[in-house]
Structure 1
Amino acid sequence: MEQFYLAALQMVPGIGSSRIKALVDYFGSARQAWLADQGDLFLSKCLDNTVCNKLLGQRDKIDIHKLAELLTKKQIGLCCLLDKNYPILLRNIFNPPYVLYYRGTLSVNDKLVAIVGSRKTTTYGKNVAGMLAAALATAQVGIVSGAARGIDTAAHLGALEQGYTVAVLGSGVDISYPPENAKLLASIAERGVVLSEYAPGVIAHPGHFPARNRIINGLARGVIVVEAAEKSGALITADFALEEGRDVFAVPGGIFAGNSKGTNRLIKQGAKLVDSAMDILEEYGWETSQGKQAEPELSPEEQQVYSLLNYEKPIGIEEIVMKLNVLPATAAYIVLQLSLRGLTVEHSGQRYTCTAREGIK
């Protein structure tokens, strides 16, 4: 039950890792600290009066046994700072969360890279994030991101095609945020891990995301920024990474593209330019033989349609019909077959782009 007492302590506003450690050291266990009376808490000098009163107030609201039952019922695991399965790299950051809640399987190694970027992304950005994530996952590199709209979602989807991914939330792990990513988070929990320092039921809040970002970079060997405007949460993650001695990589973008102002500035400041997964694999000396993907086997008709598509500007069925002189039904059928194989992405108005994959096209 000690884990649940630690979780309860972390749920008290104003009690972070350093104060939990001080309380456990003084009282001998999280349980004893949680049950201590006001006088003993005051004498310990681990908490000021304000936080001490918050602890006493939370103690009246939280039933430890009901908390344990809730986590068990929702299949939510707990991992504490001193546990053997606590993520190795995260343990060594300046302010690691004392308790992590998770759904899925925690990674047992540090072969992890974060991919972050703008929520309001472009087709180019989503394609690059998915391509890098898929290629790295093929080389058995886990992908860490924040399950937000845009680049994060593309990175998780790319990783899920080939391997393992970690979603770090700014809410409880039982909360789907954004709501449209509920299915994605369920898939990640099955094949990777969804984790958070926030208790179940805690909703996402703007103030949670900077703290969430420190966990994203803390889990990973390096952070790849795919698209980021000049003022972007992804740049906050990059700043955290630099402070913790992590590597920062950036994908270049067009000089007129607002979403690439931040990434291009990172490159100017010394971030390593990345245009393929091989850049990451070579940086860390990781096995590269698995990083290549086979060319898709296409029929002559499929190859004709596929060759018309590009990675950035969507092309409509009408344009395919005109350029190849085929029936609309034929063009639609071929595009559908390509989509079912994950080779194309549909946009509004029956328009399509290629799904970028390293070594293909």
Structure 2
Amino acid sequence: MDDMPPTTPDKLDAWLQVTHTPGIGNRYFKRLIERFQTAEAILAASPDELASLSIPQTAIEQLCKADRQRIESTLEWLDQPGHQAVTLNDPDYPPLLREIDDPPAILYLIGNRELLMQPQLAVVGSRNPTQSGRENAREFARFLAGSGLTICSGLALGIDTEAHQGAISAGHTLAVMGTGPDRIYPAKNRELAHQIASEHLLITEFPPGTPAKAENFPRRNRIISGLSLGVLVVEATLQSGSLITARLAAEQGREVFAIPGSIHNPQSKGCHTLIRQGAKLVESAQDIGIELGPLTGLLEPLTEQTQPATPQLQRQTDPDYQRLEEALGYDPVSVDELITRTGLTPEAVSSMLLLLELEGHVSSAPGGYYSRVLTASRPSGRESK
């Protein structure tokens, strides 16, 4: 499809007519455009020519019965400042996305169109992450965006939100929506979506007016993975939609990365499953840089000096963590006693203990008791192997 002519505004009407035809999904459209090269040629093709490509008869009959109201509504949306569309034969269509089995025929955009062509890393995970998961998502996204990658995610609550915000603080982000470009979901991320639209990029395959539907989000996930060189799963339960994104990434030939966590944390079970299935275990941004750096030409080798200020290192100077570690001894102590000694909330103590246990500074005992690990020490950087 590299030799296809770019779509011009007067031809977009034909693209909309074909893609709005019931029964012409992305796989059928890809088959049609590869055979006929342009949307106008598809509309001019005979029923026999279309049938020879195994296009359903009902779709062939509907092809020339355009839903003019829906097409006009889409064109009106595109007439507004900052609103754009990129079709499958456009030179600006992301080349990695074009390679998947069912690439979107049209992408609707708001924002910086140039980000479509930038090397991307998808960061996905739970909608209800732990505090550690939030910190990891934000810090990995911040550092990797600052190193030249565009961070791609799905605008959902939780890990997606943290990844977008981390990337915004240091570089660029791209949000793939599961609705039309005129609908923001979830509503809590309306302000974030507006910021991404004004400074970064929102994209969707769904035309204006499309509401949030459950079946839209797995379709959105294939775009997230299809745009990206790799997918980083930060936290995920075994039922998480992030595992769908990771599976799609593997099927598309992309790298899959996962951050391990505590065996007691249900939000880590999805990541552990991915690692058992062959995903690359990630402990630092360097692990991702080693894999993707040669593919992008952007990421410099990540040394100890250039590592991001990870949550583990940041906690060295956090007064709450210092207070908790001072309250911990080498003899087991209960969570209730730690709450009394530190004056911190039960939620804060539980979260902090989980992170310290994950890092090897604290061990747990039956009955909800914790103690410091005698051999543990604060790392000054990444440990050598």
Per-residue CA deviations over 1:222-263 (Å, capped at 9, x if unaligned) read 111111111211001111011111111101111011111110
- Corresponding residue number in structure 2 for 1:188: 196
Query: What CA distance in whole angstroms lies between the structure 2 residues aligned with 1:217 and 1:27?
Result: 28
- Corresponding residue number in structure 2 for 1:99: 106
One-letter amino acid matched to 1:13: P
Once the two structures are TM-superposed, the CA of residue 26 in structure 1 deviates from its matched residue by 6.7
Query: What CA distance in whole angstroms lies between the structure 2 residues aligned with 1:276 and 1:22?
Result: 42
Query: What CA distance in whole angstroms lies between the structure 2 residues aligned with 1:288 and 1:153?
Result: 27
Give matches, 1:131-150, under 5 Å: 131-150=139-158
Per-residue CA deviations over 1:111-153 (Å, capped at 9, x if unaligned) read 2111111112211111111111001011111111101111111
- Residue identity over aligned pairs, in percent, reads 38
8 Å contact 1:89–1:110 — kept in the other structure? no
Tell me, what secondary structure is at the counterpart of 1:256? coil
Once the two structures are TM-superposed, the CA of residue 158 in structure 1 deviates from its matched residue by 0.6
Matched, 1:241 2:265: no
Per-residue CA deviations over 1:64-123 (Å, capped at 9, x if unaligned) read 5x5323212163211111211111211111211121111112325452111111112211
Give matches, 1:143-182, under 5 Å: 143-182=151-190
8 Å contact 2:121–2:150 — kept in the other structure? yes
TM-score normalized with structure 1 length: 0.77
Tell me, what secondary structure is at the counterpart of 1:102? strand
- Corresponding residue number in structure 2 for 1:306: 318
Give matches, 1:1-361, under 5 Å: 1-24=10-33, 29-31=38-40, 33-34=42-43, 40-41=46-47, 44-45=50-51, 47-64=55-72, 67-73=74-80, 75-106=82-113, 107=115, 109-285=117-293, 286-288=299-301, 292=307, 306-309=318-321
Please provide the CA RMSD for this pair: 3.8
Query: What CA distance in whole angstroms lies between the structure 1 residues aligned with 2:40 and 2:240?
Result: 41
* Structure 1 segments of 4+ aligned residues over 6 angstroms from their partners: 25-28
Once the two structures are TM-superposed, the CA of residue 41 in structure 1 deviates from its matched residue by 4.0
Once the two structures are TM-superposed, the CA of residue 31 in structure 1 deviates from its matched residue by 3.6
Per-residue CA deviations over 1:306-326 (Å, capped at 9, x if unaligned) read 33248x9xxxxxx99x979xx
Query: What CA distance in whole angstroms lies between the structure 1 residues aligned with 2:100 and 2:33?
Result: 20
Rate the CA distance shift 1:235–1:42 in 2: closer, same or farther, 3 A: same
Rate the CA distance shift 1:16–1:159 in 2: closer, same or farther, 3 A: same
One-letter amino acid matched to 1:308: D
Identify the structure with bigger relative contact order (alpha carbons < 8 Å, sequence gap 6+): 1
Rate the CA distance shift 1:68–1:157 in 2: closer, same or farther, 3 A: same
One-letter amino acid matched to 1:169: M
- Gaps (5+ residues) in structure 2? 1-9, 294-298, 325-337, 353-379
Rate the CA distance shift 1:84–1:56 in 2: closer, same or farther, 3 A: closer
Tell me, what secondary structure is at the counterpart of 1:213? helix
